[in-house]
A and B are shown apart, each in its own frame.
Chain A
Amino acid sequence: MVANANKKSKEKVKPRGREMAWEREIRTDFRVREGQDGLIKGHVEGLVEARKRKRLRQDTEPFQRGIIRHVALVLDLSEAMLEKDMRPNRYLVTLKYTQEYIREFFEQNPISQMLILAMYDGICIKISDLSGNPSTHISALIALRNPRNPREVAKEPKGSPSLQNALEHARASLHHTPSHGTREVIIILGALLSLDPGDIFKTISACVADHLRVAIIGMAGRLRICQEICAKTNANDPSSYTVALDQTHFRELLLATTTPPVIRKPTAAAQAANPASLLLMGFPSRVIEDSPTLCACHGQLTRGGYTCSRCMAKVCSLPSTCPSCHLTLILSTHLARSYHHLFPLRNWVEVSWQRALKKGSVQCTGCLTAFPPVPADMRDSKGKGKVTNGNHESNGVNGAVRQEKVEGASESSRYECETCGEHFCIDCDLFCHEVVHNCPGCQSSVPEGDVVQGQNGAAGDGNRMDVD
């Protein structure tokens, strides 16, 4: 009873960020109840599994994602960043997390580009230029506090931020980027004000016209104008405006923006204005040379590098553009990082005791961990749907427990891939959907009636991806 009431009210306030930490209900997850067998272990495990699965079930829709991204990261360098609610202060925390963020961003989006701006003393200054090289951005960030030129002073937060100046600067910087990529602005805002020189609404309209998408991560409270900016530039969806509750939440929010954004269903007009294009790319091979030769990118003598697939010019590193014929040169492993957005692995389903019994699975196909055996009472009362009827001593509570478990976690601790019918444990479920994006079962057998061509790469996981 109590549990149900709690659950309902929790669902109601689901959208994160709307509620404050102190408004949330007192968490009651630690109520421990006995399982059927009189042990609490089963129930606790069920809760843990349900929590794991909850994270998992978010990202398996085959969305189209903007994989070639152009991002302007805007930092706040206003007085508000000297607040000490984050340790040691907001400014240092932001600098630290931004460096992590840049590494992760280019890990996830290897063929994307980024530039860093800062709102400082009422104006917007450029910290680093648009480039796809993480180390230039990171060294520019480090140089903020430890300038390379000893005569310069370290930059400390000063004055007020100006959202309008930041948006205009970002818009101008991203204006020339090719139309097949996304144009995104990610603003980290510590202040609760914006000191603008003119009408910010005109700027917002200009951003919308330029297909800019703005995401704002606040540090203090929600601002009406931020909500407005995010909604207008994201087709009336304000969900890209988030406010961090604390330091760890801030980091989470920041890292969440490394996932490529979902492309909205393009209207005919938008598609005409912003067509997808076919890009010619080279997959060069690495060469090792006995004697050093000049590289085309820096003009330095190097032993080995990558030769352009079209003109045989030698470049030092990938991804890059061939300095001589302008061909985009990348590693195929760079493209491969985004294939799982394209061919998502379908969610696996929970397995009931009946199904487990029918299938007779004793261990996980992926890792050979033994599954818990089917309880004796289940085997007798086949066909009957109720598990909880077996034990009458503490029926009420147990019934609730079982029901609750089934919602997220599987009662038999097995998860089934519906394509190949193999059973997996929760850890493999998580690992396969979040890391490998392959199903070990599907990849390990040639489908019936399918011969040589049948197992073509995409067929294992990708047959079902009909992104229309």
Chain B
Amino acid sequence: MNAIDATDRTFRSPDAPPPSLLTIILDTNPHAWAHLEPTLPLQKAIANLLVFINAHLAFNHSNEVAVLASHSQKIQWLYPTPKPPSHNLTRPASPRPNGASNGTHSAHDDANKYRPFRIVEQQILANLSALLASTTSSDLSSTTTTLISGALTTALTYIAKAALAHAPPTDPSASLNVADPSPTFMDANDGTTSRARTTLTSRILVLSVSGDLAAQYIPVMNAIFAAQRQRIPIDILKIAGDTVFLQQACDATGGVYMEAQEPAGLLQYLMMSFLPDATARDFLVLPSGGAVDFRAACFCHEKIVELGWVCSVCLSIFCGPPEHNQCLTCGNQLSMASTLPKPPALIQRKKKKKKRAAGDGASAGVTPSGTPGPA
């Protein structure tokens, strides 16, 4: 018994699990949440999300969290709180608030709450209500979708910076090579590169409620590809809407894709499927892998297509041959030769062996030499 209690509690022993940065993108599309009101009101969803965030923070002393709202008009940081542009710049700005070192407290401090929990909760609620209050009715009428590409891009830049801050300071050139494949390739053979290089494991969780993201096809694809290269899994919890490309994001980056059949059970979905970080996932059977929709969006009408015409120069996807056979993106004249239907490939029937042909009779006319004939 004593042995158990005498565990070493020093902060971060060398083989403690690495800190994990969870970046949550909350899709706050007002239209979609209005539809969800009967089953899952936004207040309840936020309450559930806060419980989930607390669980993540409680897992490891050095775990971090960042929350972004992907709204219909703009994206907004919910946590950490960005500073407003100031024209009085002489005062040095305070360090990043993520380390729970933020000194600002509101009047109603709850002494019974774990401080990191309280700070996160206060900031998220304050920023979210500010965001919702600033949404005008003209904003609502102008668009019905959400800026998921911006949210993903911002999340990736934030994670990249955090990874730089956590990287071992031994190699100053490490920061120079964010994109350079070379450091990853130094020991690509053992497959442990990315873990060894940065001590921070990061992931992105998207709570998606909107569909129809075809308009942001290219930026979303760029973000997916970047996440894939940085080995940042993108998890998707789809509460509503139809998100073709986000499913591809999960598949490409090795994240978890879940469709919430019962939106009211949001907390259950979050806790059971999305809480384990990348380190823990190596040992778990993940609720993923079903059929994946890999369709693309055409560049001309932003229509989702299964069969597309692709320009060989710029790889733009079109839903039909473009006018005058000229690529709409790069302007090259395109030849249609290769798209003409080809006859279906049939397995060539093997020619009958000559032995047999000879046996058929003399009608063949050719006298096979070397075949023992009856004559």
> Complex Cα distance A467/B251, Å?
32
Judge whether A342 is part of the interface by a CB distance below 8 angstroms.
yes
Q: A436-B156, A458-B299 are in contact. Are A431 and B147 (CB under 8 A)?
A: no
Nearest CB of chain B from residue A418's CB, rounded to whole Å: 17
Chain B residues within 8 Å of A159, by CB? none
Residues 325-350 of A at the B interface (beta carbon under 8 Å): 325-327, 331-333, 335-340, 342-343
Q: A288-B290, A439-B153, A455-B216 are in contact. Are A275 and B335 (CB under 8 A)?
A: yes
> Complex Cα distance A255/B93, Å?
41
Q: A275-B334, A444-B150 are in contact. Are A368 and B302 (CB under 8 A)?
A: no
> Complex Cα distance A336/B321, Å?
20
- Of chain A, the residue at the smallest CB distance from B175 is A427
> Complex Cα distance A286/B188, Å?
28
Can you list 15 A-B pairs with a CB-CB distance of less than 8 A? A252-B182, A255-B181, A275-B335, A276-B335, A283-B306, A285-B291, A304-B291, A333-B221, A335-B310, A339-B222, A363-B83, A370-B93, A435-B156, A443-B150, A465-B329
Chain B residues within 8 Å of A458, by CB? 218, 299
Chain A residues within 8 Å of B336, by CB? 277-278
> Complex Cα distance A257/B215, Å?
33
Q: What does the 1/0 interface line of A445-467 toward B look like (CB < 8 Å)?
A: 11000011101111011100101
Interface of B is mostly: mixed
- Of chain A, the residue at the smallest CB distance from B315 is A335
**A338 and B85: CB pair below 8 A?**
no
Residues 124-172 of A at the B interface (beta carbon under 8 Å): none
Looking at A277, A288, A379, A453, which has the most chain B CB atoms within 10 Å of its CB? A277
**A467 and B89: CB pair below 8 A?**
no
**A333 and B252: CB pair below 8 A?**
yes
**A369 and B161: CB pair below 8 A?**
yes
Which of the residues A279, A363, A443 comes within 8 Å of B219, measured between beta carbons?
A: A443
Q: A366-B157, A368-B82, A428-B157 are in contact. Are A64 and B312 (CB under 8 A)?
A: no
Binds B, one of A72-80, A114-122, A354-362: A354-362
**B160 and A431: CB pair below 8 A?**
yes
**B75 and A444: CB pair below 8 A?**
yes
Judge whether A103 is part of the interface by a CB distance below 8 angstroms.
yes
Residues 172-205 of A at the B interface (beta carbon under 8 Å): 178, 180-181
Chain A residues within 8 Å of B214, by CB? 457
> Complex Cα distance A368/B296, Å?
33
**B222 and A445: CB pair below 8 A?**
no
> Complex Cα distance A156/B158, Å?
49
Chain B residues within 8 Å of A452, by CB? 142-145
**B161 and A436: CB pair below 8 A?**
no
A residues contacting the other copy or chain, number (CB 8 A):
105
**A332 and B314: CB pair below 8 A?**
no
> Complex Cα distance A281/B319, Å?
11
**A278 and B176: CB pair below 8 A?**
no
**A333 and B307: CB pair below 8 A?**
no
Chain B residues within 8 Å of A364, by CB? 161
**A282 and B302: CB pair below 8 A?**
no
Pairs A-B, 4 closest by C-beta atoms: A434-B179, A444-B150, A336-B221, A443-B150
Chain B residues within 8 Å of A372, by CB? 92
**A446 and B342: CB pair below 8 A?**
no
Nearest CB of chain B from residue A346's CB, rounded to whole Å: 14
**A432 and B157: CB pair below 8 A?**
yes
Q: What does the 1/0 interface line of B263-294 toward A look like (CB < 8 Å)?
A: 00000000000000000000000000111111
Judge whether B108 is part of the interface by a CB distance below 8 angstroms.
no
Which of the residues B93, B158, B297 comes within 8 Å of A362, measured between beta carbons?
A: B93
**A455 and B215: CB pair below 8 A?**
yes
Nearest CB of chain A from residue B105's CB, rounded to whole Å: 20
- Of chain A, the residue at the smallest CB distance from B151 is A444
**B315 and A342: CB pair below 8 A?**
yes
Q: A376-B90, A379-B89, A439-B153 are in contact. Are A279 and B338 (CB under 8 A)?
A: yes
Judge whether A67 is part of the interface by a CB distance below 8 angstroms.
yes
Q: What does the 1/0 interface line of B342-367 toward A look like (CB < 8 Å)?
A: 10110000000000000000000000
Nearest CB of chain A from residue B232's CB, rounded to whole Å: 11
Chain A residues within 8 Å of B221, by CB? 332-333, 336, 339
Judge whether A104 is part of the interface by a CB distance below 8 angstroms.
yes
Judge whether B74 is part of the interface by a CB distance below 8 angstroms.
yes
Nearest CB of chain A from residue B67's CB, rounded to whole Å: 12
**A281 and B308: CB pair below 8 A?**
yes
Judge whether B33 is part of the interface by a CB distance below 8 angstroms.
no
Binds A, one of B43-51, B196-204, B223-231: B223-231
Chain A residues within 8 Å of B192, by CB? none
> Complex Cα distance A285/B304, Å?
13
**A251 and B160: CB pair below 8 A?**
no
**A361 and B222: CB pair below 8 A?**
no
**B188 and A325: CB pair below 8 A?**
no
Which of the residues A286, A343, A374 comes within 8 Å of B292, measured between beta carbons?
A: A286
Judge whether B87 is part of the interface by a CB distance below 8 angstroms.
yes
> Complex Cα distance A446/B156, Å?
20
Judge whether A468 is part of the interface by a CB distance below 8 angstroms.
yes
**B160 and A68: CB pair below 8 A?**
no
Nearest CB of chain A from residue B71's CB, rounded to whole Å: 9
Chain B residues within 8 Å of A467, by CB? 314, 329-331
> Complex Cα distance A255/B186, Å?
12
Judge whether A438 is part of the interface by a CB distance below 8 angstroms.
yes
Judge whether B217 is part of the interface by a CB distance below 8 angstroms.
yes
Chain B residues within 8 Å of A251, by CB? 182
Looking at A360, A364, A368, which has the most chain B CB atoms within 10 Å of its CB? A368
Judge whether B169 is part of the interface by a CB distance below 8 angstroms.
no
Judge whether A373 is part of the interface by a CB distance below 8 angstroms.
yes
**B160 and A288: CB pair below 8 A?**
no
**A263 and B229: CB pair below 8 A?**
no
**A435 and B230: CB pair below 8 A?**
yes
Judge whether B185 is part of the interface by a CB distance below 8 angstroms.
yes
Chain B residues within 8 Å of A280, by CB? 307-310, 338-339
> Complex Cα distance A361/B306, Å?
45
Q: A332-B248, A438-B153, A445-B150 are in contact. Are A281 and B74 (CB under 8 A)?
A: no
Which of the residues B219, B327, B345 comes within 8 Å of A457, measured between beta carbons?
A: B219
Judge whether B96 is part of the interface by a CB distance below 8 angstroms.
yes
Q: A278-B311, A338-B315 are in contact. Are A367 and B157 (CB under 8 A)?
A: yes
> Complex Cα distance A442/B147, Å?
10
**B310 and A278: CB pair below 8 A?**
yes
Q: A276-B312, A438-B219, A444-B150 are in contact. Are A324 and B330 (CB under 8 A)?
A: no
Q: What does the 1/0 interface line of A384-428 toward B look like (CB < 8 Å)?
A: 000000000000000000000000000000000000000001011
Judge whether B194 is part of the interface by a CB distance below 8 angstroms.
no
Judge whether A440 is part of the interface by a CB distance below 8 angstroms.
yes
Nearest CB of chain B from residue A149's CB, rounded to whole Å: 24
Residues 197-236 of A at the B interface (beta carbon under 8 Å): none
> Complex Cα distance A465/B299, Å?
14
Which of the residues B73, B90, B157, B290 comes within 8 Å of A373, measured between beta carbons?
A: B90
**A363 and B93: CB pair below 8 A?**
yes
Which of the residues A67, A336, A340, A437 comes within 8 Å of B313, measured between beta carbons?
A: A67
Nearest CB of chain B from residue A293's CB, rounded to whole Å: 14
> Complex Cα distance A288/B289, Å?
8
Judge whether A21 is part of the interface by a CB distance below 8 angstroms.
no
**B337 and A277: CB pair below 8 A?**
yes
**B219 and A456: CB pair below 8 A?**
no
Judge whether B123 is part of the interface by a CB distance below 8 angstroms.
no
Which of the residues A324, A371, A435 comes within 8 Å of B93, measured between beta carbons?
A: A371
